[in-house]
Structure 1
Amino acid sequence: MTTLSANTRNAEAQGIPSRTRTLWTACAAHALHDGYTDLIYLLLPIWQAEFAIGYGALAFLRGLAAASMAGLQVPMGRVAEHIGGRTTLALGTALAAIGYVIAGYSAGLIGLCVALVVVGCGLSTQHPIASAAVSRAYQGDARGPLGTYNFAGDIGKAAIPSGASLLLVLMSWHHMLWAIAALGVVVAVAVAIFLPASLRPIHSEAKAERHASGGCGGFALLLIVGMLDSSVRMGFLTFLPFLLQEQGASLSTIGQALALVFIGGAAGKFACGWLGARLGVLATVLVTEAGTAVAILAVLVLPLAGILVLLPVVGLLLNGTSSVLYGTVPEVAPAGRTEKAFAIFYTGTIGASATAPILFGILGDAVGAHAAIIATAITAAVILPLAIALAPRLPTTELAS
């Protein structure tokens, strides 16, 4: 309680206009950017029918957006250090909207390639900058708010593609994209108005001490844990539909099962961020990763009905660790380099999410789907000793409540 009060007084002394305003502005940006990211999945079949594009070209389009978003996060973090996070995020949000305007005017593959590169460039600004803004606004109390911020991204993933599909009933896909782009302009203006122009680095003196005594090693360990956690999640989800199919699930049942996982995942991001603030990093990561390993193995032996009952819990555990890890980034980042640390962390986890299905897929071809799923559980278990090794590199207040 003393720590929370001290952090609150510290925030007030820095003249932070409103913690809540910063959080909700970051949440709005996260919801929009993640929604923009997943909107591409809705557009791919439309573009295939409109322009007679093959599956390979469609995969290339999706890859362009993902590559530009992931590859530019570190450079955008550096840009934010020079011109300010608020300016960078507002311009990035507007740039993503412009990308969808260009897509609406595109008449073929080349135009769509240009549009999605522009969209990806704009989307690359959000994760490092908005995460750092929430961290700096809440200082040592940021773990729970970062869980709320991560939860907002899942809301956007559900709301924007579904809203876009409803708009398609009323208008062409060109006009739908321009309407969605207008929403992006509104959020860009909101970021420019409501996000603080600058916030002081988080716990600069304490962080400088930790950095001098091995803070870089702490961040490296955290990054490895984050990448393995993302690999477990994406590897398991890659094989889940096939496992359900083996159990006799129909396509509609598989869709419902995935929805159960995603609902549980959204709840996990929200709940585990706050749980990490209460129990500490080590206890929460040990519980979620051990639970993930056990739940994955249980899915392999349960009948279909049991799997469907368990899947929301699986989703909660799969996604819950991420909120705890994101909330730890500012604690192990070099003093004053929070944006860069978030940029590197998100680049690593997004890269792991992209490569893990390929690696586990190759393993599945070699030894079978069940063995590959067991490998994801083993990967989750590998995180446990890494978390124990990470614990001494964290502030004492982060180990337990």
Structure 2
Amino acid sequence: MTKEDTRRPGATAPASRPREHPDARCTLAIAGTAHALHDGYTDLIYVLLPLWQAEFGLGYGMLAALRGLYAAAMAVLQLPSGWLAERVDGRVVLAIGTALAAGGYALAGFTGSLVGLCGALALSGAGSSTQHPIASAAVSRAYGASARGPLGTYNFTGDLGKAAIPGITSLLLTLMPWRGALWLLAAVGAVVALIVLLLMPPIGMVEGVKPPRTPSSRGHGGFSLLFAIGVLDTGVRMGLLTFLPFLLQEKGASLPAVGVGLALVFLGGAAGKFACGWLGDRIGVLPTVLVTEGGTAACILAVLVLPTVPLFALLPVLGGMLNGTSSVLYGTVPDLTPPDRAERAFALFYTGTIGSGAISPVLYGVLGDWVGAHWATAATALVALTTLPLVFALAPCLADIQARECNGSDIGQHRPNKAGA
């Protein structure tokens, strides 16, 4: 074994770069477009809530229930979507899901009742349940053993959609009624569904591309550890964002300044998602996650003690640390999963992280009511540090995979996905 092969545990990238398949970039571009659309649809609800409050006379509890209905439909149906994509062509499932997500918003534009609005959001959320497991698996299979960096790029495109679609909608609402704006956005979704159906390459292992690494006997335990890290990491991120606006206000920030601060966090987060996927591919999972989780804890504690000006300078770094871990974790899912079950693994992982994102703000909010916002924020830093032992426990699983890859034992052991064959 050469010196290049003797990487430290967690550095799972092979010494020589696998060859890229000609269709890989097309797969990444279309999967990223679908990700941007679906994540934009998810956050579009925040722009529409005040309009629906005025239109239907809703209270805050019902408005929160509308947002929760969309998220619940998306989270609950991800596993069935992954299971279905293993049995039929994943492109068809993703295209139908994208069409349903768009159709839900079109229906919301037609409805004149609260019941109809609930049904429309449930339909759109159900359609969006197909995107994460299928598009992630498509990128994973297209790039094979070098998929971690492209998966980071795919993760980054979701943030672009979260920024672009609500922003464009806000502009459209100055030019037309909200119903017309939804019909226009639904038409965009229909176009994306056609692109997925007609132009996306087959979702399967492709000839000439080194497949993702075959999990060792520790693979199942490794995925459980990865799942736990992802759930805790998401909880930390959502918990901190719950308290950050109030902490900034306590330090004298005005309401517009709080908005600027949050924007800095989100911009840093998008950059962190993009960079850390590739960084994990270069230096390994273990050192990257140790840096991002340790950096997250340090930045959270700094938020509590720094005055306003240096704090605002730190906020993009905080965002990068908060969000960067997610790209590394998503990119490691294929390493711990049999290639023909990638959709199911991604579906399970995303279900856990989305569920954590929904529940954790409530838990941290209750803690904040009990001990105060400062101590509850400090608790998020402590939870970030609890992921570090889990990362060290995960390292031997990744080291086993790397060792087997260096010995060439994982070549030729993969069968193509049934749907993409």
TM-score, length of structure 1 as denominator length: 0.94
Which residue identity lines up with residue 334 of structure 1 in the other structure?
P
Which of 348, 352, 360 pairs up with 2:364? 360
**Residue 220, structure 1, aligned to residue 212, structure 2:** no
C-alpha contact (below 8 Å) 1:272/1:323 kept by paired residues: yes
Q: Secondary structure at the match of 1:274?
A: helix
TM-score, length of structure 2 as denominator length: 0.90
C-alpha contact (below 8 Å) 1:4/1:140 kept by paired residues: no
Partner of 2:301: 297
Which of 282, 296, 319 pairs up with 1:278? 282
C-alpha contact (below 8 Å) 2:213/2:335 kept by paired residues: no
Which residue identity lines up with residue 176 of structure 1 in the other structure?
A
Which of 375, 380, 387 pairs up with 2:384? 380
Q: Deviation string for 1:92-111 (max 9, x for gaps)?
A: 00010110110000102101
Which of 46, 60, 74 pairs up with 1:69? 74
Partner of 2:214: 207
- Provide the C-alpha distance between the structure 2 equivalents of 1:254 and 1:234, rounded to a whole number of angstroms: 17
- Provide the C-alpha distance between the structure 2 equivalents of 1:267 and 1:396, rounded to a whole number of angstroms: 31
Partner of 1:122: 127
C-alpha contact (below 8 Å) 1:34/1:153 kept by paired residues: yes
Partner of 2:145: 140
Q: 1:250 to 1:218 in 2, by over 3 A?
A: same
Q: 1:321 to 1:216 in 2, by over 3 A?
A: same
- Provide the C-alpha distance between the structure 2 equivalents of 1:148 and 1:35, rounded to a whole number of angstroms: 16
The worse-fitting range, judged by mean Cα deviation, of 101-110 and 332-341 is 332-341
Deviation at 1:395, TM superposition (A): 4.4
Deviation at 1:7, TM superposition (A): 2.9
Deviation at 1:334, TM superposition (A): 3.1
C-alpha contact (below 8 Å) 1:264/1:315 kept by paired residues: yes
Q: 1:173 to 1:333 in 2, by over 3 A?
A: same
- Provide the C-alpha distance between the structure 2 equivalents of 1:154 and 1:51, rounded to a whole number of angstroms: 30
**5+ residue gaps, structure 2:** 6-13, 407-421
Which of 6, 18, 33 pairs up with 1:7? 18
* CA RMSD in angstroms, aligned pairs only: 1.9
Matches within 5 A, 1:81-92: 81-92=86-97
Partner of 2:111: 106
C-alpha contact (below 8 Å) 1:280/1:398 kept by paired residues: no
Q: Deviation string for 1:311-357 (max 9, x for gaps)?
A: 00000000000000000001001341000000000000011111111
Partner of 1:194: 199
Matches within 5 A, 1:219-238: 219-238=223-242
Which structure features the higher share of helix residues? 1
> Where has structure 1 moved over 2 Å in runs of 4 or more?
1-7, 200-206, 395-399
C-alpha contact (below 8 Å) 2:52/2:58 kept by paired residues: yes
- Provide the C-alpha distance between the structure 1 equivalents of 2:179 and 2:212, rounded to a whole number of angstroms: 52
Partner of 2:23: 18
- Provide the C-alpha distance between the structure 2 equivalents of 1:57 and 1:299, rounded to a whole number of angstroms: 33
C-alpha contact (below 8 Å) 2:213/2:401 kept by paired residues: no
- Provide the C-alpha distance between the structure 2 equivalents of 1:335 and 1:91, rounded to a whole number of angstroms: 23
The worse-fitting range, judged by mean Cα deviation, of 87-96 and 48-57 is 48-57
Which of 154, 168, 171 pairs up with 2:173? 168
Q: 1:369 to 1:179 in 2, by over 3 A?
A: same
Which of 21, 37, 40 pairs up with 1:35? 40
- Provide the C-alpha distance between the structure 2 equivalents of 1:272 and 1:101, rounded to a whole number of angstroms: 36
**What number of residue pairs does the alignment pair up?**
391
Partner of 2:410: none
Partner of 1:152: 157
Which residue identity lines up with residue 200 of structure 1 in the other structure?
M
Partner of 1:267: 271
Q: Secondary structure at the match of 1:170?
A: coil
- Provide the C-alpha distance between the structure 1 equivalents of 2:210 and 2:356, rounded to a whole number of angstroms: 30
Q: Deviation string for 1:159-181 (max 9, x for gaps)?
A: 11111111112211111100000
- Provide the C-alpha distance between the structure 1 equivalents of 2:227 and 2:30, rounded to a whole number of angstroms: 26
The worse-fitting range, judged by mean Cα deviation, of 189-198 and 161-170 is 189-198
Percent of pairs identical after alignment?
Answer: 61
Matches within 5 A, 1:323-342: 323-342=327-346
